[in-house]
Amino acid sequence: MRLTDFEKAMLDGAQGEAMRRAMDGLVQLGEAYGAEDMVEIGYAHIHAGMAMYAGDVELMEDLAAIGARVAVPSTSNIANADMVNWRADGTPDPLARLQQRAEAAHAAMGSASTFTCTPYHTGMVPTWNMHMTSIESTVTIYCNSVIGARSNRDGFFAVYAALTGRYPRFGYHLDENRVGTHRVRIEATLENATDWSAAAFAAGRLVGSGVPVITGLPHRPSLIEFDAIGSALATSGGVALYIIPGVTPPYDTVERAFGGREPDDSIVIRNADVDKIYDEFAGIPGAPVDLVHIGCPHATFDKVRDVADGLTGRAVHENVQFWVTTSRAVRDLAARSGHVAAIERAGGIVIADTCPMSCHIARTTSPDKALEFTPTPVGTIVVESSKQAKYVRDVVGCATWMTGTDEALETAVTGRFVARRRP
């Protein structure tokens, strides 16, 4: 790879061991993918340091101890516990305390302790055409597809990019890869965000790691619907960029989205395709449930407000846990507006920093046994996101049923599963 003098100095250790280690990792990554040089990044969304794995936290602490400091604005991804209010959802103290150590490491490195999969809803937003890096697939696809920034789906290398302000020039950092590969037309009736999620989940399976050009949407997506589309495409497929002509910058037409190329395939998503996704996560109407979860990806302020309004004058059933997960920043805003108190009065809780597939109910523990706790058993979880449905079923390993947001609220209040009302 061609390196600038500044980059060579980092690689040679002139700026300390943390920078040397980070640049060395990035050079290896770039060489593996045939990158010719580095790009300068303007933003990074980085690893939280997951307390389920003690070594994960220790890795972040080690970087902080040798002087690692972020070189660009950086946010932290979702963690394994609500580090402010962990007892509300039954998180074991050892897990929360270990997670707080990762938070301290982030503070020492200068990154923002957002601990969310939607940092763009907290005010941390890259700009169009900005090179960036992200460990979270939802962030990658949102920033590529809605904002027009440039990011790959990254792993721990996102931390190294944050420290150096550099990233190898490959993948979606190159113009030639930012063009459509599949034409996807939506002919299904989409009545709520879960429908959008199911339609995108169906499309992602067919697109794989391609770039779908999506047409036929009933309207310009809302922020909640953008989250639903992106998270689903990134979960069922390996999609990191989708294009909605007239929405995704700078693609104003379908022709421009394909860059003069012929699509690999033309896909139509109909009501039957959406129904099939719901059927995969179908519940038993009227059956009792244990936990109802709203907020995957992490809920926007509007969604928290709407949930609070939907619970006005009502109460969560005594046999049901009701969780709304969001970022700290959104929870703070919602608290000042009275929405958190309204949800709590109804018997629910608003959780930050984590979510069901990443918290103490997940069947994952530290492989080195440094952290001993037994995952809290859950019989049935009801969700309103295809991403959460997929991962809860895989990671928590319990019965996982998906329905619309309004129906999820009805389920929480009645204690019995309310299936999605099909159009």
- Tens digits of per-residue pLDDT, 199-213? 999 999 999 999 999
pLDDT at 415: 97
Q: What is the pLDDT of residue 364?
A: 63
* pLDDT tens sequence across 258-296: 998 889 889 999 999 999 999 999 999 999 999 999 999
State how far the Cα of 365 lies from the Cα of 376, in Å rounded to an integer: 12
**pLDDT at residue number 365:** 53
Segments in the chain below pLDDT 50 = none
Q: Give the CA-trace dihedral at 366, 369, 370, 376, to 10 degrees.
A: 60
The whole-angstrom separation of Cα 29 and Cα 397 is: 34
What is residue 362's predicted lDDT score, i.e. its pLDDT?
A: 85
Residues 6+ apart with CB under 8 A from 408: 292, 293, 294, 382, 383, 384, 418
Distance, in Å, from the CA atom of 10 to the CA atom of 71, rounded to the nearest integer, reads 12
Q: What pTM does this model have?
A: 0.95
The pLDDT of residue 146: 98
User: Edge-to-edge strand order for the sheet containing 291-299?
Assistant: 349-352, 321-326, 291-299, 380-383, 399-402
Would you state the pLDDT for residue 52? 87
Q: List all residues 6 or more positions away from 247 whose beta carbon is below 8 Å from its beta carbon.
A: 146, 220, 221
The per-residue b/e assignment along 222-250, b for 16 or more CB within 10 angstroms, e otherwise, is ebbbbbbbbbbbbbbbebbbbbbbebbee
CB 194, CB 382: distance < 8 Å: no
Strands of 31-131 (E only): list them: 38-40, 43-46, 74-76
